[in-house]
A and B are shown apart, each in its own frame.
Chain A
């Protein structure tokens, strides 16, 4: 009796949370397929008048092809760099004993306390001095810089679980530390690296404020900045916004979906034990 009751509670709680989680996205989807004139009317399921017009607008009236491309370039490049730099740092922290190691860990950990937003103004000034304002490279640099600490700490957790005998064997076989890291350790650590990469990618893909401050020209806008243009001072173009939201979530949701099982085990290694 108690068991069935417990089970019933469990599955109703899970069901309620599922509905609550999905509903905003479902509602955005319905908004995105409404005819533009009917955007403010409420129908709760796909309607006979449904149309893909809002999606067409994104690519015909606005240059969303370009924005998506920009976001992909920035997110991929920044995540790849951060993995490279993070792996080097993580390797040193996981494999060597040296003076000042604890202090260096502290340097990385303290960054997690710093509101990233305070960097907006100084980075704008710094990048304007080196004439990198309005470029994707500037964004890539800033994202890498911002994400290095978390990536290093997380990757260190993964590397610590790989037996050191593995790279010692590689050293005896004639690798140096650097090639041992990337030829031998890298493939073994791949699940953890993939998890870190996806975290980084999702962060870059969704980042708004730095991109807003650093990028001005239409040709270099990233996806979130472009989406902001649907928000006017007095009026929001809900149809186009909804369509862009639906498109913008595809890459991150696909990545997350593919990885969700694996994220848990990865995290329990990287963060809990790290």
Chain B
């Protein structure tokens, strides 16, 4: 009853006190619930994206002796299978084609028999580059090797019988060649390193004709696979979807009783997605938990601004006979009030944020998950309220006497327990050690050993940033405390411009309130570090996602000539430069070169311009910066950059001669061209992930008698690349494939991009801004508000606004300046650690941190603005002593 009366009075007469706490609770709850929404949205998007990236969900391979028709029937009728078609695979010793008087013969090749409607049933499996999909199709690289175009004739060698001819109808790209030609049933390590180079895809009827003699004599040489699509009504969570798909695949295999093995492409994709989902959870840990902890600390700081008054109130109640139990009840009533209001406001805010940022107004992927997230967020909110109000009140009620509860300052001769034991140094040392140790192993956070069903997180490695964050926060407290307790003279000097003749008095005041001020400095620093490191991480991630897209596409717009086309440098540049929106055009040669028996891509570049035109990053190379290596290629045209794998496989040393076999543009014969190995290229625009060469374009042209360009890298003049790509497409027609970076961002983005990292960081950055403003402006403002009595006395003693300003601005400058400076240092170190720790998120790894100056200046500005506002409001209120305070004097 007393508690209710007290609460009624509090709400009526001092509503700021519980409402400020409720606001802090709301921020914490909204942050956690928003992250729940984020994870829910993310998991669902990851699953859908993983599904969308698979063309053939299952490839069920008939085992020797099995009836393909029976297998097709069983797979087609298996629950969940929406479509199934039988595809046949045969081998060929070689393909041969004669064009323009020269004959080319390939090595071992594969021939596929595709049933009618295959391209429609599995869209994306075949990408038409030229010609038509109706008829015999030839894979792009095969077309290049044989110099064939639609209409050309290819001779298929057949083991044990005479060769046969087919006419090419179209040239296709096989985007999913790796999975299409997988060895079904083999473990990941036993799969072929690369798909076959030479592939012909025949309509089923043609295949039957071509392979009839083989089928009659050696049927074991022809394999049948059932390609199946599944219903994609799967669980939102990648992990649950993975378990579902994998168990269904096993179930099918058991039903097939040894007649078929399932190549589970969908399961493989979902396996990757669940690893990414684990990364998303780690991101939550790194980006979300510190925010929630900060919200709690800021709330505690805001609540502690009214702690003196609360203690005085308690002392008054004690003198009126209130028992400890009554005081506790009163504190609990205030806690519940602030907590419930905060929780409701926080959940409401999270729903709005979720709706606007992720398009979902649910806290979890399913009902149970949503309830758990909402409940978890609510519990955290109530804990924040309890930690801010109930806990200190309980401690005071039990341990302090009436006189003690009246105390406001107290001498703080001894530091806190953790400081006496040097816990900050211990945490930082352990964090440094773990960081160093984990860095030795490349900082693998998500452990997903091949062949192991479970993925796990290396929690030990996570300790480094966690302990670093806590240790740094404590160290900031120690430093601020040190300045206030031991640095009175320099502090007085620093305060003189603000406080004038009152500087020693202001310094004394601050020194005696050093616990409160040190706590505030530490909190501002932690908030600044949170905002800084989150924004730098986000910015670096975005930059690398952009670099990844640029790496894949090569430039704003890439114009890739069709196989067999021979477009010269001058001709191509002249044609493209005429198109509106085109800024610059960089020709990039693309050839195939044999090193020993291996065929690799070779890119001929103009070393003088490619560094800028291709926006080359230093991290893509070894042995020098991008500019250095291009200078070497320019100076020594025979210099060549190779992949690290090639260096290892061929035991190369810098300066070694590398004899490659390239096709001569005139004779179409392979000719040996000598190069000198001068550096390593790990990545290059438009290059594949595995092995490739980068060489001087002029040298390659001179040695092969052809300056034909593989693709043109087009930078726009600022016009949207998608628009420019459309214009180019309309000019070049089907003679070249035109891709733009806008679409490429969507195509190459990893699952983690689907995580809506931008959505998460937008929330984080928004909360960081709110927390930074609250940690400084609100906390200082409320602190000043609670000390109106002190200011009223000073004012009654004759202090002018300017002199009162000395107190206000002195504290504000110390807390804000100290917090921001130390926070910036923390943010720098944390950003480097975060990017290093979460290196698995980045592809390619970044050269340097990308610093979002705009946002950081915005946060700094917001903090300074709220502090100024708090100070100005305080001083305006103090122009005349607060009359209610004077009436108490």
A-B interaction? no
